[in-house]
């Protein structure tokens, strides 16, 4: 009798994983401007003689703030002329007279001047030599860093961005590591401004406001995403002499994105998959996270979370094959209104 030994079965099941964990830098001003803004639309009126204070604002700004813009809208329904005044730290910096009988709301003062870092106070007052009703109808204040050069001015020059995330990949996954940045501020411009960076393959997102404009408060000037590098540098220039932009902050976030679908992580394995994600808004918009699959008829959403602004979710078990992916809505570089902060994806592959 002979005994034949069969070879041991080869274990073919393998664990594949994708792990991305990034520091949340959405509220970190990388330019150290620490700007401040308000758009106050509450109308305050007085019917008295002499000087009265309609509005008072206390705020603090960062070390790279050097400028402020104050826009005052008002009306004067009295029979005497009224002087509107802007005070910074109790010093008069701007004034203008509104004629009697100005019954419609009018831009009275548009002041752009210097502002020192630290704690500041701005007041809007009026003065009338006799009884008469006058109103401060709207006040817009933006404090930040002044950009008025037609040659690029460096706003941000970072190093060591690789320390802000961890990325561990064991398996065949499709993804793109990027740097997303956005700039906020205020324009008084007649020509299109320019923003440049040292990022490759840069794509502009949903917020695009570099063209000529005259803003009352803080707006999104630009939102862009480019290929990852550890030392991003960002510069800005106005389009023509005399234009002014006041930048309130520059924000830089490491992200996982793609220029085209999928806007997340593509699985190029056969097996079973499950994932945990943390996904959050940049600009307050709402979106969702989905399992998606590529078919002959194009991409299809297979399962999705509810819409939200800050999403933490376990994506349920899903049979995976090449072409299955995690889709992050509004994360495409051409939109870029969301960003993933944590992706833990496990595939039991065959």
106-141 pLDDT per residue, tens: 999 999 999 999 999 999 999 998 888 999 999 999
* Average pLDDT rounded to a whole number, residues 189-203: 97
Cα–Cα distance for residue pair 124/88, rounded to 1 Å = 9
Return the pLDDT at 2.
52
Burial tier of 278 (Cβ tally within 10 Å: 0-12, 13-18, 19+): middle
Return the pLDDT at 327.
93
264-319 pLDDT tens trace: 899 999 999 999 999 999 999 999 999 998 877 777 888 999 999 999 999 999 99
Q: Would you tell me which CATH number, out of the four given (3.40.50.740, 2.60.120.260, 3.30.565.10, 3.40.50.11030), belongs to the domain 36-145?
A: 2.60.120.260
The chain-wide mean pLDDT, for the chain, equals: 94
**CATH T-level fold of 14-22+258-349:** Jelly Rolls (2.60.120)
User: Which residues have CB under 8 Å from 135's CB, separation 6+?
Assistant: 43, 44, 45, 46, 54, 74, 75, 76, 77, 105
Return the pLDDT at 157.
97
Where in the chain are the domains? 14-22+258-349, 36-145, 153-164+174-255
List b or e across 157-174, with b for residues whose CB sees 16 or more CB atoms inside 10 angstroms.
Answer: ebeebeebbebeeebebe
* Average pLDDT rounded to a whole number, residues 157-163: 96
Return the pLDDT at 13.
62
Closest CA to 105 of 130, 129, 142, 140: 140
* Average pLDDT rounded to a whole number, residues 46-58: 96
Return the pLDDT at 4.
55
Return the pLDDT at 7.
54
137-154 pLDDT tens trace: 999 999 999 999 999 999
Angle value at C-alpha 260, between 255 and 263, nearest 5 degrees: 40
Place of tokens 């190029």: 268
**8 has a pLDDT exceeding 50:** no
Q: Give this prediction's pTM.
A: 0.92
Return the pLDDT at 167.
97
């Amino acid at each position: 009798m002979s005994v034949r030994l069969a070879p041991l079965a080869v274990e073919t099941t393998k664990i594949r994983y994708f792990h991305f964990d990034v520091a949340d830098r959405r509220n970190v001003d990388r330019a150290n401007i620490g700007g401040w803004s308000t758009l106050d639309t509450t109308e305050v009126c007085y019917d008295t003689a002499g000087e009265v204070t309609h509005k008072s604002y206390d705020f603090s700004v960062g070390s790279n703030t050097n400028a402020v813009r104050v826009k005052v809208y008002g009306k004067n329904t009295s029979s005497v002329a009224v002087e509107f005044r802007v005070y910074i730290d109790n010093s008069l910096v701007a004034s203008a007279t509104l004629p009697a009988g100005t019954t419609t709301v009018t831009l009275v003062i548009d002041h752009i001047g210097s502002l020192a870092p630290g704690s500041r106070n701005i007041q809007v007052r009026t003065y009338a030599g006799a009884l008469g009703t006058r109103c401060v109808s709207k006040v817009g204040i933006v404090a930040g860093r002044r950009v008025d050069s037609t040659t690029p001015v460096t706003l941000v020059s970072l190093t060591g961005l690789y320390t802000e995330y961890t990325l561990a990949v064991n398996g065949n996954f499709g993804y793109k590591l990027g740097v997303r940045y956005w700039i906020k501020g205020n324009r008084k411009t007649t020509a299109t401004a320019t923003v440049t960076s040292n990022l490759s393959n840069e794509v502009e997102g949903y917020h695009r406001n570099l063209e000529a404009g005259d803003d009352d408060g803080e707006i999104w000037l630009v939102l862009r995403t480019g290929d990852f590098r550890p030392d991003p540098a960002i510069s800005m220039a106005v389009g023509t002499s005399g234009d002014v932009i006041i930048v309130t902050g520059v924000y830089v976030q490491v992200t996982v994105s793609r220029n085209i679908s999928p806007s997340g992580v593509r699985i190029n394995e056969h097996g079973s998959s499950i994932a945990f994600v943390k996904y959050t808004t940049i600009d307050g918009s709402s979106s969702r996270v989905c399992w998606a699959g590529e078919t002959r008829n194009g991409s299809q959403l297979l399962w999705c979370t509810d819409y939200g602004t800050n999403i933490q979710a376990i994506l349920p078990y899903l049979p995976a094959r090449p072409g299955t992916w995690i889709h992050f809505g509004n994360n495409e570089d051409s939109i870029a209104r969301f960003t993933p902060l944590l992706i833990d994806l496990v595939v039991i592959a065959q």
